[in-house]
Amino acid sequence: MKSLIQKLVETPGPSGFEYAIRDVIREAIDGHADEVRVDALGSLIARKGTQTEDGMRVMVSAHIDEIGLMVTHIDENGFVRFTNIGGISPLTCYGGRVVFMDGTRGVIGIDGIERGKMPMLSDLFIDVGATSKADCPVKVGDVCGFERPFLDLGKRMVAKSMDDRVAAAVAVEALKRLEATPHEVHFVFSTQEEVGIRGATTAAFGVDPDVGFAVDVTRSGDTPRVNPKMATALGDGPAIKVRDSSFIADPRLVDWMVTTAEKADIPYQLEVLEAGGTDGRAIQMTRGGVPAGCVSIACRYIHSPSEMVDSDDVENAIKLLVVLLSAPIVLD
Protein backbone atom coordinates (compact mmCIF):
# COMPACT_ATOMS: atom_id res chain seq x y z
CA MET A 1 0.00 0.00 0.00
CA LYS A 2 2.76 2.42 0.93
CA SER A 3 4.55 1.74 -2.34
CA LEU A 4 1.36 2.54 -4.29
CA ILE A 5 0.93 5.77 -2.34
CA GLN A 6 4.58 6.65 -2.95
CA LYS A 7 4.19 6.06 -6.67
CA LEU A 8 1.05 8.17 -6.77
CA VAL A 9 2.36 11.13 -4.77
CA GLU A 10 5.65 11.27 -6.64
CA THR A 11 3.98 11.47 -10.06
CA PRO A 12 3.31 15.08 -11.09
CA GLY A 13 -0.23 15.93 -12.18
CA PRO A 14 -1.43 19.49 -11.63
CA SER A 15 -5.06 20.17 -12.55
CA GLY A 16 -5.62 19.87 -16.29
CA PHE A 17 -2.39 17.90 -16.75
CA GLU A 18 -3.29 14.54 -15.28
CA TYR A 19 -2.10 12.31 -18.12
CA ALA A 20 0.92 10.87 -16.31
CA ILE A 21 -0.92 10.18 -13.07
CA ARG A 22 -3.81 8.75 -15.08
CA ASP A 23 -1.41 6.23 -16.63
CA VAL A 24 -0.19 5.23 -13.16
CA ILE A 25 -3.79 4.64 -12.03
CA ARG A 26 -4.59 2.70 -15.18
CA GLU A 27 -1.66 0.40 -14.56
CA ALA A 28 -2.55 -0.01 -10.87
CA ILE A 29 -6.08 -1.21 -11.61
CA ASP A 30 -5.15 -3.23 -14.68
CA GLY A 31 -7.24 -6.41 -14.86
CA HIS A 32 -9.48 -5.52 -11.94
CA ALA A 33 -12.23 -3.53 -13.66
CA ASP A 34 -14.85 -4.66 -16.17
CA GLU A 35 -14.36 -1.57 -18.29
CA VAL A 36 -12.04 1.44 -18.22
CA ARG A 37 -12.65 4.64 -20.14
CA VAL A 38 -11.46 8.25 -20.13
CA ASP A 39 -13.89 11.14 -20.54
CA ALA A 40 -13.45 14.45 -22.34
CA LEU A 41 -11.92 16.19 -19.33
CA GLY A 42 -9.49 13.34 -18.73
CA SER A 43 -11.12 11.55 -15.81
CA LEU A 44 -10.45 7.82 -15.77
CA ILE A 45 -13.64 5.88 -15.13
CA ALA A 46 -13.42 2.20 -14.14
CA ARG A 47 -16.62 0.18 -13.98
CA LYS A 48 -16.88 -2.93 -11.84
CA GLY A 49 -19.80 -5.17 -10.96
CA THR A 50 -23.22 -5.93 -12.34
CA GLN A 51 -26.27 -4.25 -10.92
CA THR A 52 -28.67 -6.70 -9.27
CA GLU A 53 -32.22 -6.08 -8.11
CA ASP A 54 -30.96 -4.67 -4.78
CA GLY A 55 -28.17 -2.77 -6.43
CA MET A 56 -27.63 0.73 -7.76
CA ARG A 57 -25.34 2.52 -10.12
CA VAL A 58 -22.78 3.94 -7.71
CA MET A 59 -20.14 6.57 -8.40
CA VAL A 60 -17.01 6.68 -6.25
CA SER A 61 -14.86 9.70 -7.00
CA ALA A 62 -11.29 10.45 -5.94
CA HIS A 63 -9.47 13.25 -7.69
CA ILE A 64 -6.06 12.64 -9.21
CA ASP A 65 -5.06 16.24 -9.84
CA GLU A 66 -2.96 18.28 -7.45
CA ILE A 67 -2.24 21.95 -6.95
CA GLY A 68 0.58 23.32 -9.09
CA LEU A 69 2.00 26.30 -10.93
CA MET A 70 1.82 27.63 -14.48
CA VAL A 71 4.37 29.89 -16.14
CA THR A 72 3.16 33.41 -16.98
CA HIS A 73 6.36 35.15 -18.06
CA ILE A 74 10.08 34.66 -18.53
CA ASP A 75 12.05 37.80 -17.87
CA GLU A 76 15.19 39.01 -19.65
CA ASN A 77 17.43 37.23 -17.14
CA GLY A 78 15.62 33.92 -17.39
CA PHE A 79 13.63 34.13 -14.16
CA VAL A 80 10.24 32.50 -14.45
CA ARG A 81 7.10 34.17 -13.12
CA PHE A 82 4.09 31.99 -12.44
CA THR A 83 0.48 31.81 -11.35
CA ASN A 84 -1.27 29.25 -9.21
CA ILE A 85 -3.22 26.20 -10.33
CA GLY A 86 -5.58 25.67 -7.40
CA GLY A 87 -5.08 26.87 -3.85
CA ILE A 88 -1.41 27.73 -3.46
CA SER A 89 -0.21 29.71 -0.45
CA PRO A 90 2.88 31.88 -1.01
CA LEU A 91 3.83 30.80 2.51
CA THR A 92 4.65 27.27 1.33
CA CYS A 93 6.38 28.30 -1.91
CA TYR A 94 9.65 29.99 -0.98
CA GLY A 95 12.56 27.55 -1.16
CA GLY A 96 10.32 24.91 -2.69
CA ARG A 97 11.46 22.78 -5.58
CA VAL A 98 9.34 22.20 -8.63
CA VAL A 99 9.37 19.75 -11.50
CA PHE A 100 7.87 20.55 -14.89
CA MET A 101 5.94 17.98 -16.90
CA ASP A 102 8.99 17.46 -19.14
CA GLY A 103 11.26 16.85 -16.14
CA THR A 104 12.84 20.32 -15.98
CA ARG A 105 13.50 21.27 -12.37
CA GLY A 106 13.67 24.58 -10.57
CA VAL A 107 13.61 26.30 -7.20
CA ILE A 108 11.34 29.07 -5.99
CA GLY A 109 13.02 32.33 -5.05
CA ILE A 110 11.74 35.59 -3.71
CA ASP A 111 12.88 39.19 -3.68
CA GLY A 112 11.63 42.73 -3.51
CA ILE A 113 9.67 42.43 -0.29
CA GLU A 114 10.39 43.58 3.22
CA ARG A 115 11.72 41.04 5.67
CA GLY A 116 8.97 39.42 7.68
CA LYS A 117 6.22 40.51 5.33
CA MET A 118 3.85 37.95 3.86
CA PRO A 119 4.75 37.60 0.17
CA MET A 120 2.31 37.52 -2.70
CA LEU A 121 2.70 35.06 -5.57
CA SER A 122 3.87 37.98 -7.72
CA ASP A 123 6.90 38.39 -5.41
CA LEU A 124 8.01 34.85 -6.17
CA PHE A 125 9.75 33.36 -9.18
CA ILE A 126 11.12 30.03 -10.34
CA ASP A 127 14.83 29.80 -11.03
CA VAL A 128 15.56 26.92 -13.39
CA GLY A 129 19.25 27.75 -13.59
CA ALA A 130 18.91 29.71 -16.80
CA THR A 131 21.25 32.65 -17.42
CA SER A 132 18.95 34.50 -19.83
CA LYS A 133 15.58 34.35 -21.49
CA ALA A 134 17.25 32.71 -24.49
CA ASP A 135 18.52 29.66 -22.61
CA CYS A 136 15.50 29.23 -20.35
CA PRO A 137 14.12 25.76 -21.01
CA VAL A 138 10.54 26.57 -20.03
CA LYS A 139 7.97 28.73 -21.79
CA VAL A 140 4.72 30.52 -21.01
CA GLY A 141 1.96 28.04 -20.28
CA ASP A 142 4.30 25.30 -19.02
CA VAL A 143 3.14 23.56 -15.88
CA CYS A 144 4.97 22.29 -12.83
CA GLY A 145 4.18 20.60 -9.54
CA PHE A 146 6.03 20.66 -6.25
CA GLU A 147 8.76 18.11 -5.85
CA ARG A 148 9.14 16.47 -2.47
CA PRO A 149 9.96 12.82 -1.81
CA PHE A 150 7.53 10.54 0.01
CA LEU A 151 8.37 10.27 3.69
CA ASP A 152 7.50 7.14 5.66
CA LEU A 153 7.34 7.92 9.37
CA GLY A 154 5.95 4.51 10.26
CA LYS A 155 2.39 5.06 11.39
CA ARG A 156 2.29 8.45 9.70
CA MET A 157 3.11 9.22 6.07
CA VAL A 158 4.07 12.58 4.60
CA ALA A 159 4.11 13.80 1.01
CA LYS A 160 3.01 16.55 -1.30
CA SER A 161 -0.33 15.77 -2.98
CA MET A 162 -1.58 13.36 -0.33
CA ASP A 163 -4.53 15.53 -1.30
CA ASP A 164 -5.86 13.56 -3.03
CA ARG A 165 -3.56 10.75 -4.10
CA VAL A 166 -4.04 8.98 -0.79
CA ALA A 167 -7.75 8.81 -1.63
CA ALA A 168 -6.91 7.64 -5.14
CA ALA A 169 -4.88 4.87 -3.52
CA VAL A 170 -7.86 4.03 -1.29
CA ALA A 171 -10.14 3.86 -4.33
CA VAL A 172 -7.65 1.73 -6.28
CA GLU A 173 -7.32 -0.70 -3.41
CA ALA A 174 -11.08 -0.81 -2.78
CA LEU A 175 -11.66 -1.54 -6.45
CA LYS A 176 -9.18 -4.41 -6.27
CA ARG A 177 -10.57 -5.86 -3.03
CA LEU A 178 -14.22 -5.50 -3.97
CA GLU A 179 -15.49 -8.99 -4.77
CA ALA A 180 -19.23 -9.46 -4.45
CA THR A 181 -21.26 -6.32 -5.01
CA PRO A 182 -24.91 -5.85 -5.91
CA HIS A 183 -23.94 -2.58 -7.58
CA GLU A 184 -22.55 -1.36 -10.84
CA VAL A 185 -19.72 0.69 -9.34
CA HIS A 186 -18.00 3.41 -11.32
CA PHE A 187 -14.68 4.36 -9.77
CA VAL A 188 -13.95 7.83 -11.09
CA PHE A 189 -10.40 9.11 -10.85
CA SER A 190 -11.38 12.67 -11.50
CA THR A 191 -9.48 15.67 -12.85
CA GLN A 192 -9.47 19.40 -12.08
CA GLU A 193 -10.95 19.16 -8.58
CA GLU A 194 -8.53 21.74 -7.22
CA VAL A 195 -9.69 24.39 -9.67
CA GLY A 196 -13.41 23.93 -9.08
CA ILE A 197 -14.58 20.30 -9.05
CA ARG A 198 -14.68 20.27 -12.84
CA GLY A 199 -13.74 16.70 -13.77
CA ALA A 200 -16.27 15.17 -11.38
CA THR A 201 -18.95 17.44 -12.84
CA THR A 202 -18.68 15.97 -16.32
CA ALA A 203 -17.92 12.46 -15.02
CA ALA A 204 -21.07 12.51 -12.87
CA PHE A 205 -23.14 13.53 -15.86
CA GLY A 206 -21.61 10.72 -17.89
CA VAL A 207 -21.98 8.05 -15.21
CA ASP A 208 -25.51 9.19 -14.26
CA PRO A 209 -25.32 7.50 -10.84
CA ASP A 210 -28.13 6.62 -8.41
CA VAL A 211 -25.88 7.41 -5.48
CA GLY A 212 -22.31 8.63 -5.08
CA PHE A 213 -19.38 8.95 -2.74
CA ALA A 214 -16.40 11.23 -2.91
CA VAL A 215 -13.16 10.10 -1.32
CA ASP A 216 -10.95 12.97 -0.29
CA VAL A 217 -8.76 14.32 2.46
CA THR A 218 -10.10 16.67 5.11
CA ARG A 219 -8.53 18.98 7.65
CA SER A 220 -7.30 17.45 10.86
CA GLY A 221 -8.18 19.28 14.07
CA ASP A 222 -5.41 17.84 16.22
CA THR A 223 -2.53 20.26 15.74
CA PRO A 224 -1.54 22.78 18.43
CA ARG A 225 -3.77 25.85 18.49
CA VAL A 226 -5.80 24.68 15.50
CA ASN A 227 -8.02 27.41 14.17
CA PRO A 228 -10.85 27.09 13.32
CA LYS A 229 -11.49 24.14 15.58
CA MET A 230 -12.40 20.83 14.03
CA ALA A 231 -13.37 17.50 15.54
CA THR A 232 -11.20 15.31 13.32
CA ALA A 233 -7.88 13.76 14.31
CA LEU A 234 -5.27 11.58 12.63
CA GLY A 235 -5.74 7.94 13.58
CA ASP A 236 -9.37 8.20 14.65
CA GLY A 237 -10.55 6.40 11.55
CA PRO A 238 -11.94 7.48 8.20
CA ALA A 239 -14.19 10.51 8.49
CA ILE A 240 -17.79 10.32 7.36
CA LYS A 241 -18.60 13.75 6.03
CA VAL A 242 -21.70 15.50 7.31
CA ARG A 243 -21.04 18.67 5.38
CA ASP A 244 -18.42 20.95 3.93
CA SER A 245 -18.77 24.32 2.24
CA SER A 246 -19.56 22.77 -1.13
CA PHE A 247 -22.32 20.36 -0.18
CA ILE A 248 -24.36 18.83 2.62
CA ALA A 249 -24.10 15.07 2.54
CA ASP A 250 -27.43 13.28 2.21
CA PRO A 251 -28.36 12.66 5.87
CA ARG A 252 -29.88 9.27 5.04
CA LEU A 253 -26.60 8.27 3.46
CA VAL A 254 -24.62 9.58 6.43
CA ASP A 255 -26.77 7.52 8.82
CA TRP A 256 -26.38 4.43 6.69
CA MET A 257 -22.60 4.91 6.43
CA VAL A 258 -22.36 5.26 10.22
CA THR A 259 -24.49 2.16 10.84
CA THR A 260 -22.49 0.18 8.31
CA ALA A 261 -19.16 1.22 9.87
CA GLU A 262 -20.39 0.29 13.34
CA LYS A 263 -21.70 -3.09 12.22
CA ALA A 264 -18.38 -3.87 10.55
CA ASP A 265 -16.48 -2.63 13.60
CA ILE A 266 -14.52 -0.09 11.59
CA PRO A 267 -13.47 3.02 13.51
CA TYR A 268 -14.85 6.26 12.06
CA GLN A 269 -15.23 9.90 12.94
CA LEU A 270 -17.75 12.48 11.80
CA GLU A 271 -16.57 15.42 9.77
CA VAL A 272 -17.91 18.95 9.57
CA LEU A 273 -15.57 20.94 7.34
CA GLU A 274 -16.27 24.65 7.34
CA ALA A 275 -14.14 25.63 4.37
CA GLY A 276 -13.45 23.27 1.53
CA GLY A 277 -15.23 21.23 -1.10
CA THR A 278 -15.11 17.83 -2.72
CA ASP A 279 -16.36 15.91 -5.72
CA GLY A 280 -19.44 15.11 -3.62
CA ARG A 281 -20.90 18.41 -4.70
CA ALA A 282 -20.61 17.55 -8.38
CA ILE A 283 -22.28 14.19 -7.83
CA GLN A 284 -25.10 15.71 -5.80
CA MET A 285 -25.84 18.46 -8.29
CA THR A 286 -25.67 16.47 -11.53
CA ARG A 287 -28.75 16.04 -13.73
CA GLY A 288 -31.86 15.77 -11.53
CA GLY A 289 -29.89 15.47 -8.26
CA VAL A 290 -28.20 12.47 -6.63
CA PRO A 291 -27.80 11.41 -2.98
CA ALA A 292 -24.13 11.90 -2.20
CA GLY A 293 -21.72 11.38 0.67
CA CYS A 294 -18.01 11.41 1.27
CA VAL A 295 -15.40 9.29 2.99
CA SER A 296 -12.53 11.50 4.14
CA ILE A 297 -9.06 10.91 5.42
CA ALA A 298 -7.85 13.37 8.03
CA CYS A 299 -4.77 15.20 6.81
CA ARG A 300 -2.47 17.77 8.39
CA TYR A 301 -0.85 20.66 6.47
CA ILE A 302 -3.16 20.38 3.43
CA HIS A 303 -1.91 22.20 0.32
CA SER A 304 1.63 22.34 1.67
CA PRO A 305 4.38 20.15 0.17
CA SER A 306 4.26 18.06 3.35
CA GLU A 307 0.77 16.71 3.89
CA MET A 308 0.52 14.10 6.66
CA VAL A 309 -1.92 11.21 6.99
CA ASP A 310 -2.20 8.19 9.24
CA SER A 311 -1.62 4.66 7.85
CA ASP A 312 -4.40 3.10 9.92
CA ASP A 313 -6.87 5.69 8.66
CA VAL A 314 -5.92 4.73 5.12
CA GLU A 315 -6.41 1.02 5.74
CA ASN A 316 -9.71 1.62 7.54
CA ALA A 317 -10.92 3.90 4.74
CA ILE A 318 -10.35 1.06 2.27
CA LYS A 319 -12.21 -1.37 4.53
CA LEU A 320 -15.09 1.06 4.97
CA LEU A 321 -15.37 1.73 1.26
CA VAL A 322 -15.37 -2.00 0.46
CA VAL A 323 -18.05 -2.67 3.06
CA LEU A 324 -20.15 0.24 1.81
CA LEU A 325 -19.98 -1.05 -1.74
CA SER A 326 -20.60 -4.70 -0.89
CA ALA A 327 -24.15 -4.44 0.42
CA PRO A 328 -27.37 -2.84 -0.79
CA ILE A 329 -27.49 0.87 0.02
CA VAL A 330 -30.43 1.73 2.24
CA LEU A 331 -31.77 5.27 2.21
CA ASP A 332 -34.49 5.84 4.78
CB of 22 vs other proteins, minimal distance in Å: 8
Question: Contact region for other proteins (CB under 8 A) — 197-205, 242-250, 303-311, 314-322?
Answer: 197-205
The site that binds other proteins (CB under 8 A) totals a number of residues, namely 31
Which of residues 6, 11, 15, 304 is near other proteins by CB under 8 A? 15
Of these residues, 10, 66, 184, 193, which one is catalytic?
A: 193
Continuous segment of H or E residues that includes residue 61? strand 57-63
Looking at residues 87 to 106 of the shown chain, list those that interact with other proteins (rule: CB under 8 A). Answer: 101
- Tell me the CA distances in angstroms from 55 to 34, 184, 251, 298, one per residue in order: 17, 7, 20, 30
Is 237 exposed, middle or buried (CB count within 10 Å of its CB: 0-12, 13-18, 19+)? buried
Question: Contact region for other proteins (CB under 8 A) — 79-87, 211-219, 240-248, 310-318?
Answer: 79-87
Would you count residue 152 as binding other proteins (CB under 8 A)? no
Q: Is 193 marked active-site?
A: yes
- Nearest to other proteins of 206, 212 (CB atom): 206
d(CA 150, CA 162): 10
Would you count residue 285 as binding other proteins (CB under 8 A)? no
Which of residues 75, 135, 262, 274 is near other proteins by CB under 8 A? 75
- For residues 196 and 210, is the Cβ–Cβ distance under 8 A? no
CB of 143 vs other proteins, minimal distance in Å: 8
- Nearest to other proteins of 184, 236 (CB atom): 184
Whether the bond between 164 and the residue before it is cis, its omega within 30 degrees of 0, is yes
Sheet hosting strand 307-310, strand order edge to edge: 151-153, 156-159, 307-310
Looking at residues 32 to 61 of the shown chain, list those that interact with other proteins (rule: CB under 8 A). Answer: 38-42
Distance, C-alpha 301 to centroid of its chain: 14
- For residues 234 and 156, is the Cβ–Cβ distance under 8 A? yes
- Helix/strand number for the chain, H first, E second: 7, 17
The catalytic site residues sit at: 193
What residue ranges bind other proteins (CB under 8 A)? 15-17, 19, 22, 38-42, 70-73, 75-76, 81, 83, 85, 101, 122, 140-141, 192, 195, 198, 201-203, 205-206
